[in-house]
Amino acid sequence: MFRGAVLAACAVALVACASPYQENGFIGGYDVKDLGRDVYRIRYSGNGYTTQETAQVYWLARAADLTLEKGFASFEILSDMRFSLWQPSHDDGLAPLRLAAGSAIASVTVLPDELADASAWRTSGPGAAGDEPAGRVRVAASTFVYIPSGGGGAPHPAIEGDIHLINKPVEPAPPKVFNARTLQATLQPLIKADEKCAFGNVCPHVHEYLLPKGKLQ
C-alpha cells in the first residue's frame, strides 16, 4: 500500500507541470505526420497546465527543427493560422500587440493559388511533380483547439498545421515563411531557459519573430 501511495505521488508530481518539448507522451508533446512531397502535418498537444503561448512556441520550434533535420533551409505554413502576439507595455510588462488593424494576432491565410505555387518548390524524387501527395494539405486549421480534460479540469491547448519544406533560398516572410535556422536560434533559449514560468511554461515574451521586419515599432 505504501508503494502504491508513493507511485501515486510521483504521478501527481509528473503531471503537475506543463507539457514539455518532446514527442507526444503521457503529459503531451508533438506529433509529426509525413504527407509526402515535403509536406508535414505537425500537432502539439498540451495538458491542463500548458499555456497557449507555450504550445505556440513548441509548434513553431518543431517546425524549424524538422526542417533542419530533413536537410532543408526554410518552411512555409500551408494552413490558415492565428498566432497570439505580445509587445512591451509602459509598465515594463507585456501587453497584447496592437497592429494597424487593431488585432492581437498574426494571421496566416492560405489561398488555393498559393498552394499551387508551393508545389514548384518541392524537390524532385519519389512523390515529385505529377504524383498526388500522400495526404491532403490542411488549408484550414484554427490555431488553438481546446480539448476538454475529461475530469472538469483545465482545458488542454493544441495547435495543428501543415508546413512545406523548402531547400531553395527564400526570403523570410513571417508569420507564413520562415528561415528555419534563424527561428530555431530565436526559440531555443526560450525552450531551454533555466528558469521557466508557472508550471514550467515558456515565459511571456515579445513575439517579434512572428512579424515582418520593421512591423513592430
Could you tell me which residues come within 8 angstroms of residue 28 by beta carbon, excluding any fewer than 6 positions away? 19, 20, 44, 45, 46, 47, 50, 156
Dihedral of CA atoms 55, 164, 117, 73 in degrees, nearest 10, equals 110
**Per-residue confidence (pLDDT) for residue 97, from 0 to 100:** 45
Q: Residues 183, 187, 190, CA angle at the centre, nearest 5°?
A: 170
Asked whether the beta carbons of 112 and 206 are under 8 A apart, the reply is no
Asked whether the beta carbons of 71 and 185 are under 8 A apart, the reply is no
Asked whether the beta carbons of 16 and 50 are under 8 A apart, the reply is no
**Per-residue confidence (pLDDT) for residue 5, from 0 to 100:** 39
Residue with cell 495547435: 159
User: Please, what are the averages of pLDDT over each run of 10 residues along the chain (217 residues)?
Assistant: 36 69 96 97 96 95 98 96 72 48 52 51 39 38 43 75 92 94 96 90 91 72
**Per-residue confidence (pLDDT) for residue 214, from 0 to 100:** 72
Asked whether the beta carbons of 133 and 40 are under 8 A apart, the reply is no
Predicted model pTM:
0.73
